[in-house]
Chains A and B, each alone.
Chain A
Amino acid sequence: MSISVPAPVRGFFRRHPRLTRALELAVRPFEAASKKVVFGCKMCGQCILHETGMTCPMGCPKTLRNGPCGGVRMDGRCEVIPGMMCVWVKAERRSRWLPWGGAILKVQPALDWSGAGSSAWINVLADRQGKEAS
């Protein structure tokens, strides 16, 4: 994760698991609602929106986090859902508008599914994601 959180903040959340849980319960509905409306968020718990052209990769029927599959149709639509634009075609196009668009080239590690459904914001603050990641 490229967002760096100061160590004292991480330490605080680590030392107070019950407080962290309570905070998560409060934050989660707000995060879910706002990101769902704007980005079609699927609450995977490890947000990489800023590295994928502000396009949620979990909207891809294959939940690909590192780029498009080989089946994208010639008009840019999805191989699985022909009525939908491929999320990666959108992500690539949008990433060009972002000053940090090159982040799309970062190799994304495997998702930690044990964090699915949790608040990515709190996860970042508490530094508790992708434990299994290579």
Chain B
Amino acid sequence: MTRPIAPVLRLEEAFRSGLPVVTCEIATGDGADPDEVLRRVRLVSDHVDAVNVPDNTAGIVHMAAWAAAALLAREGVDPIMHVTCRDRNRMALQSDLLGAAALGVRNILCLTGDHMVHGDHPGAKPVFDLDSLQLVSLATVLRHGRYLSGREIRPAPALFPGATENPFAPPYDFRPLRLQKKVEAGARFIQTQITFNVKRFAAFMERVRDLGLDRTVPILAGVAPVRSARSARYMRERVPGMEVPDAIVRRMEQAGSERARREDEGIRVCVEIIEQLREVRGLAGFHLLPIHWEEAVAEIASRARLTPARASLSAHVEATARDAGSADARRDDREGALLNRHREHRA
């Protein structure tokens, strides 16, 4: 099914609509080729509201996140730029955020950053001048027109800071509280680590709801397709902070080594997880992490019926304009009313 291309809606506006939001992380090119970045983003851009651009993930050097994010912005895609504390001190972070804002990059995801010991430059000097929470505070301070030093910035950069949380790493009881701290520091949206253990995620969200956080900040559940039994095992054993239940590894093993079959099974597992997560209350949408497999996103979106907020919105506008009397329009009107309610709620 081809959808009409939906207009660009800033991530912040997408959240404010109250409709389910979809975001996706792409791999930025290994090198300086802008076409590589654009090729990947074009595979996903029709299916999402905003696209995440990583910052030297896993401690492996890639193109600067601000540059890749600016390439996306030029393409009319709303980028979410990852910013880690690993490589830059508070001065470099501030100037990077201002520079990014000047290039049309407003959404920033504040991360601690994977340590370099696991990357390709293990001997590099770790910076970690700030932590992810202090980075959220810093973005908030900039947003309100001040440097961390207190000096005024005019005009203030229109930043939209977000943060992450990992419900799958100990201390489990502390994770919802840490999320609360991040919201207190100024986080305006949350993207979680990849969910394979839905039960643990549901327990986390229950606590999050108890704290009332789902009503203060939109939370997107991270989901990813695994491509093979080997990559499932790798994630389980070698990626700290990732929980891959044995059942999923076993399913991937049973799918065998034939490419089409195992890839299909990987997508099926991902879609099932999305369906299960739809039962969990308090989520604002999904965050896809295809891990160098952007080709899978279209298939996941169609099988799981994931629609970005901007597409739902434009469909709604069209339908009401077309046939005001039909049942369709009445349903859409209800959706519209719902939308407005959410708007007031989130504004």
A residues lining the B interface (CB < 8 Å): 61-76, 79-80, 86, 88-89, 92-93, 105, 107-111, 113, 132, 134
Contact = CB atoms under 8 A, between A and B. Distances in A.
B184 A71 contact: no
Contact of B169 (A62, A71, A132): A71
B123 interface: no
Given A69-B112, A71-B114, A134-B141, 8 more contacts: A63-B128, A67-B178, A68-B170, A75-B170, A92-B171, A105-B177, A107-B133, A134-B137
B174 A109 contact: no
Contacts of A105: 177, 180-181
A66 B181 contact: yes
29 contacts: A62-B86, A62-B131, A64-B112, A64-B128, A64-B131, A66-B132, A67-B131, A68-B169, A68-B170, A68-B178, A69-B132, A69-B241, A70-B166, A70-B169, A70-B193, A71-B114, A72-B171, A72-B240, A73-B241, A75-B170, A79-B114, A80-B117, A89-B171, A92-B171, A92-B174, A105-B180, A107-B133, A108-B134, A134-B137
Contact of A134 (B112, B138, B180): B138
A88 B114 CA distance: 16
Contacts of A93: 171
B117 A72 contact: no
Given A67-B178, A73-B241, A110 B130 contact: yes
Contact of B170 (A65, A86, A134): A86
4 closest cross-chain pairs (CB), A and B: A70-B166, A79-B240, A66-B133, A71-B240
Contacts of A108: 133-134
B243 interface: yes
B129 interface: yes
A107 B184 contact: yes
B243 A66 contact: no
B126 interface: yes
B173 interface: yes
A72 B128 contact: no
Chain B CB within 10 A, most for which of A61, A67, A92: A67
B241 A70 contact: yes
Interface in B161-197: 164-166, 169-171, 173-174, 177-178, 180-181, 184-185, 193
